[in-house]
Amino acid sequence: MTTQFKAGDVRRTLVENQAKWNVIEQLNDENTAPIHGLGGSVEGLKLAGEVELLDWRSILTIQSNNPFLVERRTALDLGSILSLQTGNPLLTGHRVLEFLPAALLKELTSLIEGELALNAVDWRNRWGWPWITTVQDQDGCESCWAFAATALVESMTRIEHAVWSKRSEGDVHHGMGAKCANTGGATSALDWIKINGIADPDCYPWSTNDPPYITTLDRSGRTVKIADYQLIGDISQQKTWLDTVGPLATFFEVWHDFDFYGGGIYTKQDMINGKANYDRGGHFMLVVGYDDDAGCWIVKNSWGAFWGEEWTGFGRDERGYARIAYGQTDIDTYAKIGLHYTNPDPWTKRRLHNGNMIESGNGSLHRNLEMLATTNGSQIQHWWREGSDLSWHQASIFSNDAAVCPTLIASTYNRNFETVYLTTSNQLHHWYFDQVRGQWIDGGVFGPTDAYGVPAFIQSNYDAPGNFEVVVRTSDSKLNHWWRENAPLWHWHDIGRFGSNVAFSGATLVQSHYGQQGNFELVCVLESGEMQHFWRDNDNGMVWNAGDTFGSGVFSTPCMIEGQFGASDEKHVGNFELCVAVDGAVQHWWRDNQNNTGWQYGATFGHDVQAVTALVESSFFFDLEVIVLRTDQQLQHYWRDGAGWHEGPIIGSAA
Q: What is the DSSP string of 316-343?
A: EEEEEEEEEETTGGGTTTB-EEEE---B
Name the band, by pLDDT with cuts 50, 70 and 90, for residue 389. Answer: confident
pLDDT in tens, 209-259: 999 999 999 999 999 999 999 999 999 999 999 999 999 999 999 999 999
Region of 321 on the Ramachandran plot (φ > 0 left; ψ -120 to 50 alpha; else beta): beta
At 94, phi and psi to the nearest 5? -70, -20
Residue 81 has pLDDT above 80, yes or no: no
Give the 3-state secondary structure of residue 589. strand
> Is there a common fold for 34-49+118-339 and 350-653?
no
Which residue spans within 105-217 are E strands per DSSP? Answer: 120-122, 198-199
Taking residues 385-403, report their average pLDDT.
92
Name the band, by pLDDT with cuts 50, 70 and 90, for residue 93. Answer: very low
User: Would you identify the CATH topology of the domain 350-653?
Assistant: Neuraminidase (2.120.10)
Closest CA to 554 of 586, 576, 522: 586
Of 72-81, 448-457, 611-620, where does mean pLDDT reach its minimum? 72-81
Indicate the average pLDDT of the chain.
93
Taking residues 111-117, report their average pLDDT.
54
Residue 2 has pLDDT above 80, yes or no: no
pLDDT in tens, 557-570: 999 999 999 999 99
Residue 345 has pLDDT above 50, yes or no: yes
What local confidence, expressed as pLDDT, does residue 79 receive?
65
Q: Between 603 and 112, whose confidence is greater?
A: 603
Name the band, by pLDDT with cuts 50, 70 and 90, for residue 89. Answer: very low
Burial annotation 600-621 (CB, 10 A radius, 16+ → b, else e) = eebeebbeebbbbbbbbbbbbb
**What are the residue ranges spanned by the domains of the chain?**
34-49+118-339, 64-117, 350-653
The rounded percent of the chain whose pLDDT value lies above 70 is: 94
Beta strands 316-325 and 261-266, pairing class: parallel
CATH class of 34-49+118-339: alpha beta
Residue 344 has pLDDT above 90, yes or no: yes
CA distance 437 to 197: 21
Q: How far is Cα of residue 500 from the mean position of the Cα atoms in its chain?
A: 37
Closest CA to 141 of 188, 183, 203: 183
Give the 3-state secondary structure of residue 265. strand
Q: How far is the CA of 49 from the CAs of 45, 332, 340, in angstroms?
A: 12, 10, 23
CA distance 212 to 233: 37
Q: Between 76 and 218, whose confidence is greater?
A: 218
Taking residues 471-497, report their average pLDDT.
96
What local confidence, expressed as pLDDT, does residue 597 receive?
85
The rounded percent of the chain whose pLDDT value lies above 90 is: 88
How many Cβ atoms are within 10 Å of 54's Cβ, its own excluded?
18
Check: CB of residue 146 under 8 Å from CB of residue 154.
Answer: no
Residue 97 has pLDDT above 50, yes or no: no
Residue 90 has pLDDT above 70, yes or no: no
What local confidence, expressed as pLDDT, does residue 105 receive?
46
Q: How far is the CA of 457 from the CAs of 127, 198, 411, 413, 502, in angstroms?
A: 35, 26, 11, 16, 18
Of 53-62, 149-158, 293-302, 475-484, where does mean pLDDT reach its minimum? 53-62
CA distance 185 to 280: 17
Burial annotation 294-325 (CB, 10 A radius, 16+ → b, else e) = bebbbbbbbbbeebbbebeebebebbbbbbbb
What local confidence, expressed as pLDDT, does residue 56 receive?
84
Beta strands 531-537 and 543-550, pairing class: antiparallel
DSSP state of 169: H
What local confidence, expressed as pLDDT, does residue 84 receive?
47
How many Cβ atoms are within 10 Å of 649's Cβ, its own excluded?
13
CA distance 83 to 597: 52
Sheet holding 353-355, edge to edge: 353-355, 609-617, 624-630, 634-641, 644-653
pLDDT in tens, 418-444: 999 999 999 999 999 999 999 999 999
